[in-house]
Structure 1
Amino acid sequence: KFSGDEKFLYASAGNDNQILKYAVTNGKLILRDSIVLGAKWPNKISPAGLEIDDAAKLMYVVTKEDSSLYILDLGSKKVLSKTMLHGEAYSCMLSNDKQQLFISCWGCDKLIVFDTKKRSVVNEVQVGDNPNDICLSKNGKFLFVANANDNSVSVIDIRKQEVIETLNAALYPNSPSGSTSNGVALSTDEKTLYIANADNNCLAVFDVTKPGFSRSKGFIPVGWYPTNVKVMGNKIFVANGKGFSSKANPYGPNPLNPKQAVISHAGDTARPAEVQYIGGLFKGTMSIIDVPSAGQLAMYSQMVYQNTPYSKNKELIAKGEPGNPIPMKVGDPSPIKYVFYVIKENRTYDQVLGDMKEGNGDTSLVLFGEKITPNQHALARQFVLLDNLYADGEVSADGHNWTMGAYATDYVEKNWVTSYGGRGGTYPGEGKRTIGNNKGGFIWDHCKRAGVTYRSYGEFADDGKANISSLEGHFCPYFESFGMDVKDTTRFAQWKRDFDSLLSIGKVPQFNSIRLGNDHTEGLRKGKLTPTAHVADNDLALGMLIEYLSKSPIWKQTAVFVIEDDAQNGADHIDAHRTTGYLAGGFVKRNFVDHTMYSTASMLRTMELILGIPPMTQYDAAATPMWRSFSNTADTAPFVARPVNVNMNDKNTVSNQWQQRSENFNMAKEDAVPDLEFNLVLWHAIKGDHIPFPGPKRAAFVNLKEEEKDED
């Protein structure tokens, strides 16, 4: 926020719990001073939006960790007052007369009205889900509030202090979450409102000449994940949070490299600059666009619709073929009655399956090949090899939400980067913070609404308790949650015990989520199992689980889906999101290679169609179901688990500087270790110091020609 004379710029310093003051000197920003709200992280404050009353020499700051409004004296730099709010705050803005401060409450779905004279909250206006950015008309009569999870903007009459209309910013009416409206700006003449839709990669444009009677004008394509929009004269400026596109990371992390740290719930802040870690691979960009004419806007709108995979038609009728076990319409019958969804941790395709000649792999990037993962290789050969599957998430913080909900909210997307970068912040995923949860919940919530029975084993259930209400009474209480001190083969035995008890009374749930995460590994921590031992244990547990299911009486009616929550901890020559996935079951094809481009959302959409559950978000609604990998003729031949070829009890013993760094790694939770450092450590542990560490690749991997063929 600029001072009134535009000589200074004030900026929130996030988890440093300060406001930075920059002088504008010869077109450059020079840091001059700071205002301290409190001690740095782990002291939970985290300033977000701020506003200035120049005449009164006051600054208003709202926060997202202690959910408060701070009033600061700009002269003395002291905190004058602190007011608790009802949830995490995003932004704030003064009325024209400075008598009221409007606060968007990110975590309580309200616009809070604060009286600056009384220094108290005087009103709360209910708006949409996850309200964030706000803008005020010049005459001070109307306020516009973006609502991320509702794909909407609330238009508020300031005098009445009520919502007079809600603008649907999505491309289609009644769309599920997935547009993520998170930026608003008025044109210079205030006749047009521009709305940044982060997950549609576009601006929605509305005629707001007469608030209360606004109308849609169209859409403008921008970059990847636009987070803010501003208008100056006839120019529109858009900040694109993730830049252009994903890409390959051949120099990505390596968990066997002694120079890399593997930390649960964190990135590697000490990683070498050349390592292409997914958390630092996307560079933000700015789109600068001339205000379009009506004709240009019409062309822009066509481009946005062409670029957007989601449509209402796809939501209602998915791709497929008649007679396939995967229905094309929600509610149509399927011979598959039981779904088992296994979630693993952090591996790329090339790290594990890059040695399979049948697929598109790079053998030079293989770390955990067939000798270490015989069961995963056998599954890929005996059933289906998926070599074009991509994790929608970047790290576990958003990855588990994507894996179970086909979406990560703007809160999750905007907050995991600081914690993974070692700059403070709490883990926002897996139901740990209510504000980070999807509006409609996760797949278990949707099962509950549809009358589908369900149970979870370690996913969104930690230390004997459910992280979300829909899992209360629907999880195995003795199944060990994430933690490297318990082997996945032990978890298999825990699952087997529970499964047998349910099978014996005919109560096996229709949907089962099972977390087997020890392929995360612990890097080279001395005295801990080696990365190879951890991955081998994980591989055997998966093989044993599928063998046991394949010899059960429900096998013919069962489908098993296996995926990594993300692919952050490795290199891949196609894309840093490309990961391993497996299918098994009576109606899964045998000895088949499926090159179709799939994503996490594709796997979810396939399971939803089997279970009769509508799509949760625009992402799974748009995703291609995996019908090509299924046959209408059942083959019930059982799977036989392959024995391990390595010592599953082998421990790290080598002592060097990289092993010593591993001693400080926190393995209690996934991703608490700097991931890039972890990958360097693993790479050199397996490959040796003489082979250079490869980094991550990102690719704009959509093959439009293939998509066009599919439509035909």
Structure 2
Amino acid sequence: MFRILASVVLLAVCSQAMAQSNPFILSVPGVNQYAKIDTAGVSVLPSGRYVTPVGQTIRITHDPFGMAVSPDGKTVITLHNGVFSIIDVASMQATRVPDYAGKIPSPLSNGSFLGVAFHPTQSLVYLSGGDNGAVIVYDYKRLQKVDSISLNGVFAGQTFDDSFTSDLIFNTANNELLVLDRGNFRLVRINLANKKITASIETGRQPFGLAISPDKKTVLVANVGMYSYPLVKGATPDNANEKMIDYHPYGHNTKSSKEGTEIDGKEIPGVGDPNAPEAMSVYSINLATNKVTHRLKTGHLIGELVEDAEVIGGASPNSIVMGKQYAYVTNATNDNISVIDYRKGKIVDHIDIKVDPLLDKYRGLLPFGITMSADEKTLYVALLGFNAVAVIDIASKTTKGLLPTGWGPARVLLSKEQQYLYVISCRGYGAGPNGGKNFVAPPQGTYVGDIQLATFQKIAMPDAAQLKAYTTKAIQNTYQKIPVNQVANTPLPALPGLGSTPIRHIVFISKENRTYDEVFGQMNRAKGDATLARFGTGVNIFTKTDSLYNVDVMPNHKRIGSQFAFSDNFYCDSDASIHGHHWMVGVIPNEWVEANSSVSKTAKLFSNAPGRRFPGSTGSIDPEDYAEIGGLWEALERKGISFYNFGQANETAHVREEWNDTATGAAHLVMVPMQNALWTRTSHNFAGYNTNIPDQFRMKQFEEEFTKKWLNGKDSLPQLLTVMLPNDHGARPRPEDGYPFTHSYMADNDLALGRMLHFLSRTPYWKNMLVIVTEDDPQGGVDHVDGHRSILMMAGPYVKKNHVSHTHANFGTILKTMYNILGVPYVNQYDVTASLLSDFFTNTPDFSAYDLVLPDKRVFNWDKAMEKYKQPIDWRKIQQGPKMDDAGEQRVEHYKTGGQ
């Protein structure tokens, strides 16, 4: 295979010498601004980047991932989850199906996924039904459902159930539909004359993208799946609970993951080679024979070295456009395009997508949708991670320019006459406020994932001068340069490895699902709305059966913010956990994460359809999602930085989460690898996400393991600890367990956080420690500035006291803070362009300890919460702080017990 490795210079901008030759840092342009939507001007995203969509732009329903242009060129249809938009491109007016008024019913019964295809002569559109395993036939002019064609049933003696329809195309040569079934890993051919299936052809795993050659003889399928995930051997619906294990069974790409292992006497099947032909590949299918003729591995193979860094993630080939001889495939993970001579079945080249010399060494473009000019000279590629469409000259393999889009462009197509480009961006201008004074709820709702509408753009084909101006704007929307000599000299270095810092240990605490206003809306000197501070102090709680007045729900948050520092301009890049747990650990959610997280889907673990066991992660990152050279964990490992994890990355979507799953918070039946760098550095005695387990129990686990390992043990505290305290996610009230209100979970979380700071600040490591506290996503609450605005606090001797930071911050900013302190090279474009939070820090340390405060026990009864575990909380011991072993006491105890 001909393969050109992209240049990834991992040690760039990471040393004193490099800083002297490049005396500036990169920062988002909105570093001193709050997120805002300005459809007529410049919108500021939660990332701090700007969006200025060019051309004509309208807003449509959120998260469109499918798009097609009608044969007459007058209509574009975009497909969302359970919704589609019919757009008249002349008037730029959209009809939503179903409409909010309830006059146009939806033909989609349970979501939809990717596939849109028009009939060549009739006013019919074919839509992927997704989870229901059917293709929906719809008359888009009469606004009526015509038919539904199921992929399930018996074909050639084989029964196919639990199909999940994905991408599809209309083959005019045979009056047929070609449909991908991600449930059963196959391509299905449907004769539209009799609606019968004529062929079922095996593809690779999780088939995602589909294209047909101009002569209608060859089909290419892009497979984004890495594995066909097995169950614990011998598992059945009847014995599933007994067969489960407490943690991910193995590290990725290890002997155990390839061949299997044994855990607690249970046989654990392996998942095989990540470079297998079925994994993240492109299949070529001959339509004359219904045979797969070639299986091609695009992009970089796992285990290869790219500038001395091991490739961790597969290429994630996702979208395809085919010309007369060559096909072009977008590889999201590698930021490149594979060039395939599909008649010969060979990859003949790779085109690296380059946008700017200061950014090209890092990944983060995430090429997704792709189309090609009729003369086959130019490619147009939607850059999901860069908020732009790249215009690429095929002959020279160069990026001619960029077209600014909305947030997260997913698809790009050409108009019939090639005069316009049509672009859909899944998050548009962002969310904006979803609550507060004078806020009026829109018809789509106030949930952060619903309120942020997508955009549809109609862009006139630019000339050279206009393309140059657009390109300049796209770069300006992404970063600005700040001279290093303008950066304050604090314990936070301006760049990794630039100068020294007294901070030796970082504790990174993640929580779940809260917005800024509902916790910090009351804080002085900050941009808050106190009317939204339902989890603050002195608040009233009303339910149908009970009322409480003047209650302190989260007093430790307020005290920590006041004693140390917090931000009123921090935003989660994520809408929900599946995104948040990627962003937090330095992995930008790819096209598979975005599309798969935005579709209704049903897990069927004992189905014969292997795609139905796909874990669809929430708190974990799946092998399908890994970045090219990984994220935080791999960056630390490469640099030799010690780290240890409490609770992150142990929650796939189908785990059991009961009150007694205390080892890790979860029990697994579907076997999914964990990132290998993390697997050997993760506690197997700390409960991750599971709201059935009190955060007080987690604190007991943390204090005991910390004391055993790093206070009384021979080891020194690692340079980075990651800790999950998830109960501010909230759940249904459980008065019998001490949680009479939803607010009870917030109080539990607040008390645990107070205990954490109380404990850490009484250890000998405190004098060189930084504690960072944030949320993984904001989806549980509302905010008067932006639905993504959330919690960021920092604590430690070198953090300013009683400080409010107004500097823009997001997950990239947190990672930049950690990388700069630990001397770790940046990994992706969001790290390198993130804001620098120098204002949080001081050169004059204050080593004072933190004293926890108890929330109102009427809200949360911590004694009752711990009754199940028969482990009452010893508050006197907790107040005293950690006690390290005394050699004299240990000697006396040894002889008292006879050494037993």
The TM-score with structure 1 as length reference comes to 0.82
2:565 and 2:804 in contact (8 A); partners too: yes
Task: Work out which of the residue numbers 400, 403, 417 in structure 2 matches 1:220.
Answer: 403
3-state DSSP class of the match of 1:248? Answer: coil
1:181 Cα deviation after fit: 0.9
Shift of residue 481 of structure 1? 2.1
Q: Is 1:521 equivalent to 2:730 in the alignment?
A: yes
Q: Residue 319 and residue 225 in structure 1: after superposition, are their counterparts in 2 closer, same or farther (change >3 A)? A: farther
Q: In the alignment, what sits opposite 1:415?
A: 596
Aligned partners of 2:517, 2:809: CA distance in 1, in Å?
Answer: 16
Contact kept? 2:646, 2:724, Cα under 8 Å = yes
1:646 to 823, 844, 857: 857
Distance 1:251-1:648 versus aligned 2 partners, 3 A rule = closer
Normalised TM-score (structure 2):
0.65
Task: Kindly indicate whether the alpha-carbon contact (under 8 Å) linking 2:409 and 2:425 is maintained by their aligned counterparts in 1.
Answer: yes
Give the 3 Å change call, closer, same or farther, for CA 492–318 of structure 1 in structure 2.
farther
Q: How does 1:599-678 map to 2 (within 5 A)?
A: 599-647=810-858, 649-650=860-861
State the match for 1:298 in structure 2. Answer: 468
What is the Cα deviation at residue 319 of structure 1? 9.2
> Hey, what's the Cα distance between the residues in 2 that align with 1:274 and 1:76?
39
Q: Which amino acid aligns with 2:191?
A: D
Task: Report the CA distance shift for 1:372/1:348 in structure 2 as closer, same or farther (over 3 A).
Answer: same
Instruction: Say yes or no: does 1:103 pair with 2:286.
Output: no
Aligned partners of 2:602, 2:426: CA distance in 1, in Å? 16
Hey, what's the Cα distance between the residues in 1 that align with 2:587 and 2:835?
13
Q: Which moved more, 1:52-61 or 1:175-184?
A: 52-61
Residue 433 (structure 2) pairs with residue 248 (structure 1): yes
Structure 1 unmatched runs, 5+: 253-270, 652-712
Residue equivalent to 1:567? 778
Q: Which residue of 2 aligns with 1:395?
A: 576
Q: How is 1:91-490 mapped onto 2 (pairs within 5 angstroms)?
A: 91-107=209-225, 108-128=279-299, 129-137=315-323, 140-172=324-356, 174-208=360-394, 210=395, 213-232=396-415, 233=417, 234-250=419-435, 275-309=445-479, 321=487, 323-332=489-498, 333-370=500-537, 371-419=552-600, 427-431=616-620, 433-462=622-651, 464=664, 467-490=674-697
Compare 626-635 and 187-196 and name the one that shifted more: 187-196
Measure how far apart 1:430 and its partner are: 3.2
Q: For residue 32 of structure 1, what is the aligned residue in structure 2?
A: 146
Q: Decide whether the 8 Å contact of 1:430 with 1:467 is kept in 2.
A: no
Distance 1:272 1:307, change over 3 A: closer
How many angstroms does 1:533 deviate by? 2.1
Q: Which residue of structure 2 aligns with residue 502 of structure 1? A: 709
Between the aligned partners of 1:44 and 1:408, the Cα distance in structure 2 is 27
Contact 1:188 1:231 in 2 (8 A): no
Q: Equivalent residues in 2 for 1:77-88 (5 A)?
A: 77-88=195-206
| Cα distance in 1 between the residues matched to 2:816 and 2:587 | 9
SS at the partner of 2:708? Answer: helix
> 1:567 and 1:7 mapped to 2: Cα distance?
42
Q: Following TM superposition, by how much is the alpha carbon of 1:413 offset from its aligned partner in structure 2, in angstroms?
A: 1.3
Matched, 1:584 2:795: yes
The one-letter amino acid of 2:343's match is: R
CA contact (8 A) 1:183 1:195 kept: yes
Is residue 594–residue 629 contact of structure 1 (8 Å, CA) maintained in 2? yes
- Contact kept, 8 Å, 1:429 with 1:436, in 2: the verdict is no
Cross-structure match for 2:76: none
Distance 1:44 1:511, change over 3 A: farther
- Please give the alpha-carbon distance, in whole angstroms, between the structure 1 residues aligned to 2:371 and 2:485: 38
Indicate conservation of the 8 Å contact 2:514/2:778, yes or no. Answer: yes
Counterpart secondary structure, 2:774: strand
Per the TM alignment, residue 541 of structure 1 is displaced from its structure 2 partner at its CA by 0.8
Q: Is residue 251–residue 274 contact of structure 1 (8 Å, CA) maintained in 2?
A: no
Distance 1:43 1:567, change over 3 A: farther
The answer as to whether partners of 1:251 and 1:275 remain within 8 angstroms in 2 is no
In structure 2, distance between residues paired with 1:531 and 1:377: 19
Amino acid at match of 2:523: M
Percent of residue pairs identical: 28
Per the alignment, do residues 557 and 446 of structure 1 end up closer, same or farther by CA in structure 2, a change over 3 Å counting?
same
SS of match in other structure, 1:184 = strand
- Given that residues 415 and 428 in structure 1 are in contact (C-alpha distance below 8 angstroms), is that contact kept between their aligned partners in structure 2? no
> What is the CA distance between 1:43 and its match in structure 2?
6.8
The residue number in structure 2 matching 1:13 is 129
For residues 482 and 62 of structure 1, the distance between their equivalents in structure 2, rounded to whole angstroms, comes to 34
Q: CA RMSD of the aligned region, Å? A: 2.8
Q: Which amino acid in the other structure matches residue 516 of structure 1?
A: L
Q: Which is helix-richer, 1 or 2?
A: 1
Q: Distance in 2 between matches of 1:398 and 1:451?
A: 27
Gap runs ≥5 in structure 2:
1-116, 154-159, 226-278, 300-314, 538-551, 604-611, 652-662, 863-900
Cα contact 1:320–1:625 (8 A) shared by 2: no
Cα distance change, pair 511–14 in 1 and its aligned pair in 2 (3 A): same
State the alpha-carbon separation in 1 of the partners of residues 377 and 761 from structure 2: 63
Task: Call closer, same or farther: CA 1:33–1:526 in 2, change over 3 Å.
Answer: farther
User: In the TM superposition, what are the counterparts of 1:52-67 in structure 2 within 5 Å?
Assistant: 52-67=170-185
CA shift in 2, pair 1:526/1:279, >3 Å: farther
Q: Which has the higher mean CA deviation after the structures are superposed, 45-54 or 190-199?
A: 45-54
CA distance in 2 between counterparts of 1:23 and 1:606 reads: 54
User: How far apart, CA to CA, are the structure 2 residues paired with 1:301 and 1:43?
Assistant: 48
The residue identity in structure 1 corresponding to 2:699 is: F
CA 1:10/1:251 → structure 2, altered by over 3 Å: closer, same or farther? farther
Residues 336-386 of structure 1: per-residue CA shift (max 9 Å, x gap): 111111010111111011111221111110111132111111110111131
| 8 Å contact kept, 1:412–1:429 | no
Pairwise CA distance, 1:160 = 3.5
User: What is the count of residue pairs matched by the alignment?
Assistant: 620
Q: Retained in 2: the 8 A contact 1:182–1:228?
A: yes
In the TM superposition, residue 302 of structure 1 has moved relative to its aligned partner by: 1.0
Instruction: Work out the CA distance in 1 between the residues paired with 2:458 and 2:857.
Output: 56
SS at match of 1:512: strand
Instruction: Classify 1:565/1:44 alpha carbon distance in 2 versus 1 (closer, same or farther; 3 Å).
Output: farther
What amino acid maps onto 2:497 in structure 1? G
CA separation in 2, counterparts of 1:61 and 1:392? 33
Higher RCO (CA 8 Å, separation ≥ 6 residues): 1
Deviates most, 196-205 or 441-450: 441-450
State the SS of the aligned residue for 1:200: coil
Q: Which residue of structure 2 lines up, in the alignment, with residue 595 of structure 1?
A: 806
Whether the 8 Å contact between 2:581 and 2:620 is mirrored in structure 1 is no
1:670 corresponds to which residue? Answer: none
Which structure has the larger Rg over C-alpha atoms? 2
Q: Deviations over 1:234-286 (max 9, x none)?
A: 1111112222233011169xxxxxxxxxxxxxxxxxx9957411121122221
Residues 426 and 77 of structure 1, relative CA distance in 2, 3 Å threshold: farther
Answer with 621-630 or 67-76: which moved more. Answer: 67-76
In 2, distance between residues paired with 1:301 and 1:169?
14
Q: 1:634 to 1:506 in 2, by over 3 A?
A: farther
- Residues 484 and 494, structure 2, Cα contact 8 Å, conserved in 1: yes
Determine the C-alpha separation between the residues in 1 that align with 2:819 and 2:327: 39
DSSP 3-state at the match of 2:422: strand
| Cα deviation digits, residues 367-416 of structure 1 (max 9, x gap) | 11132111111110111131111111111111111112252111111121
Partner of 2:248: none
